[in-house]
Chain A
Amino acid sequence: MISRKRLTPFLFAVIAALSLAGGYWMSQHQQQRGLPAIPNDFEATVFPEARELIPFQLVDQDNQPFTPERLKHKWSMLFFGYTHCPDVCPTTLKALQDFWQELAEPVRNKTQVVFVSVDPKRDPPATIKPYVQFFDPSFIGVTGDLGQMTAFTRSLGVLYEYVSAGEGKEYGVNHSAQIILIDPQARLRAVFPPPHEPDEMRKNYLKIVNFYKE
């Protein structure tokens, strides 16, 4: 039995799964019809047609506006988590550090890594700044208004829910595990499912980036 609390994330998960399946079907279909192909043979889901993002107004680690404009002119790897997460978030950020630091400089110059906190209440810019910069001084941390955050993440198929750990205890946050790739026109381009192994991720990332370079 699905409780009311879990129903919303569940529905979104179903919608996300259906859109992924739809995307896959379309990609197959397009290839058969000779329409623009998408790269295959790697562990990421690439959308046959890049999707525009909805407008959003968040803030970065320096309390500067973070809007779709900030996702333009570079490829962006977005990971969603929270600083009270001791295991999987730092593990993934470590993987992104390795992914990033081993990129050849020309590619690195057109790549940015963005950590988005889905726990903006406990993660103000002052917290998120030293947190992301511990992994790399160039990493961007994003936080902001919870309503804006929810709209932004849902439009990307990223889900999260707050889980009470009992009275007097810090709450936990369940959240989507995927890394989202946004193209230099600020459009959703691909999704990297876990596990995130840096070398594998870099190989797949380069395939996508090279495929779409003008």
Chain B
Amino acid sequence: MTEETTPPKRGVSLTAQIIIWVFIAGLLALVGFGLNRARNPMAAVGDRVPDFDLVYYKGYEYNGTAQMKLSDLRGKIVVINIWASWCKPCEQEAPELEKAWQFYKDGNDVVFVGVDYVDTPAGANEYLKKFSITFPNAPDLKSNISSILNRQMGVPETYFIDREGILRNVKIGPFASPGEIQSIIQSIQ
């Protein structure tokens, strides 16, 4: 007669396994939810640019308005230039941008908006004064605008948005002349 022996239980019990799997699934769901919430919608050429707030620097408001949404500029061609005072290539194109703005500003059909990417207010103020910039300028608070515009390489980058709010052109790096800016604007007019 043989004596039957039951093998001893080893490892983690079923209840513990269920708890562990539920914990892991919950954790993954939480991480996914958080990442999805943190992610901004991004613009692509040919698509409508998701709306964002512009809180202008004092002295660089648009028609006396200190705060507005991008959608408030619908009906105009919007040129958004992302820059920073610590960025050397930005200095190269700053006079060209100002010259182009001087060409368009009276027409009231094209709006230039400078977006100052991670900068100090003092540095930004000094930069704007140094290059005698007169077009509207706003800080990129929490890098929200550059994130929505899907900034790719660094600064400067310039985004051309048409009257319907569609992103038409992206220039990475500095402009060589005002003519280069004008030719892009003409192509989307």
To the question of whether A and B form a pair in one complex, the answer is no
Residues of A within 8 A of B (CB): none
